[in-house]
Chains A and B, each alone.
Chain A
Amino acid sequence: MSDSTSTASGVIAEVHHEHPSYQRHHFETVDQQFDATNFAMWLFLLTEIMFFGGLFTAYMIMRNWYYPAFVEGSHQLNVGWGTANTAVLILSSFTMAMSVWSAEMRKKGMLILFLSLTWILGLAFLGIKSIEYHEKWVKHHVPGLHWSESSFLNPASDPEVYKEYHDKPLAPDMAQKTAEYFFLYFAMTGMHALHMIIGISLLTFMIFRARQGAYTTGHVTYVENFGLYWHFVDIVWIFLFPLLYLISRY
């Protein structure tokens, strides 16, 4: 299985380098293998930027067209839950970064601990999100499935939101457009939540593999690249939070 190559002077040289079992034969060094997979992961994340980018662009255009509808739609979101979820997700990004560090330092116990914490925080995020989704369902704010414009035609009918914002009733044609806001709300947070679900599934798999000692042999590529994915999902939320929850107060 040894690779051999002939140099310019015709001397046959044995160049089967000593290398760890996880280094594939077509890579010169472990570092090169790491850089190549890292680069590939970033290429995948670029496609993700463009995917979410389309949704963000749609949001900006719709918000400009139907500004009053977007403002009153946004007033239905709870800033407290949104802030809590932002904190949860940032914490999970930190524990993920610490997982990468634990793998690099070959600390198996720490790795399992931090991966598990990331897993729990990810589920906590989805839990809070489901409380919010449930509230939207109860208030008939799910366009196409369970929808009514009454909160926007008559804001006083929703005393909890009304006492905070004192929204004026929207004209019927503008009130209809709040459906656009909630459609984008569900499309964007839903796509984000789907990414979280995929991430949590991969984390489950990784925790099992970590217990077998898979990532503490010096081969950190998988943990590192999964970390990139997890942080990317965090960044998407960093933008969703102000756009959906915060900027419509003033």
Chain B
Amino acid sequence: MSEHNQQDQHNQHDEHDQEHHIVSPVIYGTILLALLIFTGLTVWMSFIDLGAWQIAPGLTLFWNPVVALAIACTKMTLVVLFFMHVKYTTKLTKLTVASGFFVFIVLIGMTMTDYFTRAWGRW
């Protein structure tokens, strides 16, 4: 009984970082396979004309780059979560990684909204 209590206390004490988590080779192998399949998929899709979406006269969204970047983002997420162990890491590291991507999106987002809207209404 007392042993059980001690165990409980121990668990409470370091709930955020238990033992150093070791990711198994099975997971690494699965991720490798997924990454190779996504690579094949993105190459295959690039040979197909996926068409475009005419949002407004003169403003067109081409699907090929959208799909290619979506696949790239999926691959990146797999690498970050499993190869880079972010799924198993502390909240501090998770927050750090998230803030990094957030600032990157601000960089891209703010810059592109500027360039896309300079000629707004003049096309």
Residues in chain A within 8 A of chain B (CB atoms): 30-32, 34-35, 38-39, 42-43, 45-46, 49-50, 53-54, 56-57, 60-61, 64, 79, 83, 86-87, 90-91, 93-94, 96-98, 101, 104-105, 220, 224, 227-228, 231-232, 234-235, 238-239, 241-243, 245-247, 249-250
Q: Decide if A249 touches B64 in the complex (CB within 8 Å).
A: yes
Q: Decide if A79 touches B96 in the complex (CB within 8 Å).
A: no
Smallest CB gap from B75: residue in A: A238
Q: Does B72 contact A (CB under 8 A)?
A: yes
Given the interface contacts A31-B14, A35-B90, does A250 sit within 8 Å of B62 by beta carbon? yes
Contact with B36, one of A35, A38, A45, A90 (Cβ below 8 angstroms): A90
Q: Decide if B32 touches A246 in the complex (CB within 8 Å).
A: no
7 more A-B residue pairs beyond the given contacts A35-B92, A93-B35, A247-B46, with a C-beta to C-beta distance below 8 A: A49-B100, A53-B104, A57-B112, A97-B82, A243-B68, A250-B50, A250-B62
A192 to B41, CA, bound (A): 23
Q: Decide if B76 touches A235 in the complex (CB within 8 Å).
A: yes
Cβ contacts under 8 Å, B17 to chain A: 31-32, 35
Given the interface contacts A79-B43, A249-B46, does A56 sit within 8 Å of B32 by beta carbon? no
B35 to chain A, nearest CB (A): 5
A49 to B97, CA, bound (A): 10
A30 to B20, CA, bound (A): 9
Smallest CB gap from A240: residue in B: B72
A232 to B80, CA, bound (A): 8
Contact with A98, one of B28, B36, B71, B84 (Cβ below 8 angstroms): B28
Counting contact residues on chain B (CB < 8 A from A), the size range is 35 or more
Given the interface contacts A35-B93, A98-B25, A246-B46, does A57 sit within 8 Å of B111 by beta carbon? yes
A32 to B47, CA, bound (A): 49
Q: Decide if B43 touches A83 in the complex (CB within 8 Å).
A: yes
Smallest CB gap from A54: residue in B: B107
A185 to B116, CA, bound (A): 23
Q: Decide if B99 touches A239 in the complex (CB within 8 Å).
A: no
Smallest CB gap from B108: residue in A: A57
Residues in chain B within 8 A of chain A (CB atoms): 14, 17, 19-20, 22-25, 28-29, 31-32, 35-36, 39, 42-43, 46-50, 62, 64-65, 68-69, 71-72, 75-76, 79-80, 82-85, 89-90, 92-93, 96-97, 99-101, 103-104, 107-108, 111-112, 115-116
Q: Decide if A79 touches B46 in the complex (CB within 8 Å).
A: yes
Q: Is the interface of A mostly helix, strand, loop or mixed?
A: helix
Q: Decide if A101 touches B36 in the complex (CB within 8 Å).
A: no
Q: Decide if B46 touches A242 in the complex (CB within 8 Å).
A: yes
Cβ contacts under 8 Å, B68 to chain A: 242-243, 246-247
B49 to chain A, nearest CB (A): 4
Cβ contacts under 8 Å, B19 to chain A: 31
27 sampled A-B residue pairs with Cβ under 8 A: A31-B14, A31-B17, A35-B93, A38-B90, A39-B92, A42-B97, A46-B96, A46-B103, A50-B104, A50-B107, A53-B108, A56-B108, A83-B43, A86-B39, A87-B36, A94-B28, A101-B24, A104-B20, A231-B79, A231-B84, A239-B76, A242-B42, A242-B68, A246-B42, A246-B68, A247-B46, A250-B48
Contact with A238, one of B72, B104, B108 (Cβ below 8 angstroms): B72
Q: Decide if B79 touches A93 in the complex (CB within 8 Å).
A: yes
Q: Decide if A247 touches B65 in the complex (CB within 8 Å).
A: yes
